[in-house]
Amino acid sequence: MDCQGLLILIFMLLNGPTTGNASHVTCALENEPLQLACPKLTSADPQTGFAIVWYKRNESNELVKLAPEATVRITFTFSSLHFWPAHMNDTGEYVCVQENGTHSARSSKLSLLVNRKNEDCFSTNCTYEKLGIIKKSFTMRCGVIWNYEENGIKTGMPKWYKDCKFLKEDKMFHFNELEATHYGYYTCVVPLSHAGREYNISSTTYLMLEDSPEIAKPQIMGNDIIHHVEVELGKKVRLNCTAFVGYSNSSRYAIYWFRKVNSSDNEGDFFEQCNYSSMQIMPCENTSKKWEQGKMYITNELQIENVKEEDLQYKYICKLSNTVQNENRTHILTKKEKTADIPKHAFTAGMMIAVLFSAITVAVIVVCLIFRVDLILLYRDLTGKDETLADGKEYDAYISYLNEYMLASEEEREFVLQTLPSILENHFGYKLCIFERDVTPGGAIIDDIHSFIEKSRRLIIILTRNYMSDKAMYELESGLHKALVEKKIQVILIEHKPLRDFKFMPESLYLLKSKRTVKWKAKKSLPPNSRFWKNVRYLMPAKPAKSRHSMFLFSSPLVLFQKCIY
């Protein structure tokens, strides 16, 4: 085979599909080699003296002769015009004429359309179409001569792409079994070298899929053969009917609506397509198609803009055409029952009750926050709750008096040795450990302090003046260590007199000062039902009061209100 015959064969196999008359209109891709073969003249005998002359129609609608030696990009063989490669401005009308210098034997007209590639891969205007059957095998061939070297023309192994994504290198593309996801554009790209330059020639096939009749059949979606739809008179309603029609864009199927009176067996009335350019008063239908995962669906929506009473007497039926089993679905309109309006007086009463309930709720929350301590103490007294049982502790609280007792004022010593025991022990039944009163002289002070704190449930620290003895400092540090580190005891701070300076105390005491401090207010705090003793009891472990009379000190709301300011 000579170079001329090889080029003709390559270009006939590689050029894209034609549009219109397949012999006269050629589709090409930009920057790819292209051949225009003169129709009906490719087998003419060059020995007859006739030659092929090419013309191109210019913008002035004049035919301009193409000279054989005009450009290296456009070359001629006996009956073909070659582009190395084709450009966008090559688009136009070409005429090939068979002449012998004085006479013209015949002429043919061709139209060339050069397209740009989509994402540097293909153009949807230059594609073949092939149909495959789901669950069947299928093979696509590249349509290119490969591994053939003659007269300087070389071709390489084809590369296959799907939707511009590389798949593999092979002479053909084979599917053992087609699936719904296999549809799409498959492009075969073959490298070609000519006259020292490298080119790519591509051919794109659009693979369409169709289901086999025994695999899937067209049908209307949904399980209800009769579907009841609630509507409101005067309102708009849309009845939807969707059908699966296969795996290809087939025009064999259509959905249409008709209606008939419930008691009638006649075919009924049909509807026209909706016209959105004017107001729609009568019912109309609107049809659309869509692809979803390789499947084709048709949807037809029946639109009734203004439901009237007479519309309720019909059955609305959507039917899928060209189906053996006469697929259809029936829609029946039923009037939606209106809910009774709430009487005005009932609505007003309900709103008032809601507002009153909200106000009561807020008031209860506020009261609970204000009288939280009182309510908790009342709950303890009523239930007889006791947190001191079986915990292994001997004392309810250890009193840490920060002043050296010999340097303390009589008022301070009286508070520690008389007032606290009198109320907490005699009135409320707590057992206190006071070092000056309960510890036998002569023992090891540090060991005694540590032992008594270990046996106590609370550590009550009396904050007085700015002088602290070594014993008091050890009591404080030991108690704070058990409270903050070991978490074995809780601390209660009683501020006997307002203090201006806490610098002499350990920094860890600041962690407790604001949360667990109770302030003594002299005569106001002296009565057992004062706010001071309530706060102390609240911080002490729950324990039944020694006198049942104490529980009634908190049971009267009037007493709670009168005493809350103390």
477 is catalytic: no
Instruction: Report how far apart, in Å, the C-alpha atoms of 206 and of each of 33, 52, 117, 251, 341 are.
Output: 22, 35, 15, 18, 61
**Strand pairing of 237-246 and 219-220?**
antiparallel
Q: Which residue has the tokens 């149909």?
A: 131
User: Are residues 132 and 182 in contact, defined by beta-carbon separation less than 8 angstroms?
Assistant: yes
Q: Which is the catalytic residue, given 210, 327, 412, 475?
A: 475
Q: Which helix (H) or strand (E) holds 292?
A: strand 284-292
Neighbour-count burial for 302-336, b at 16+ CB within 10 Å, e otherwise = bbbeebeeebeebbbbbbbeebeeebebebebeee
Residue 180 burial (CB < 10 Å; 0-12/13-18/19+)? middle
Number of H-type helices and E-type strands within the chain: 11, 30
**d(Cα 83, Cα 195) in Å, to the nearest integer?**
13
Among candidate residues 456, 496, 462, 495, the one with its CA nearest the CA of residue 476: 462
Alpha carbon distance, N-terminus to C-terminus of the chain: 120
The pair phi, psi for residue 497, each rounded to 5°, is: -135, 150
Q: Per this entry, what is the length of the chain?
A: 566
Q: How many Å apart are CA 36 and CA 505, to the nearest integer?
A: 105
Give CB contacts under 8 A, 24+ apart, made by 515-519.
Answer: 516/490, 516/491, 516/492, 517/463, 517/493, 518/492, 518/493, 518/494, 519/494, 519/495
Residue 15 carries which side chain, given as an amino acid letter? Answer: N
In contact, 112 and 92? CB cutoff 8 Å: yes
Contact 50, 41 (CB under 8 A): no
Distance CA(17)–CA(91), nearest Å, equals: 16
Active site residues: 475
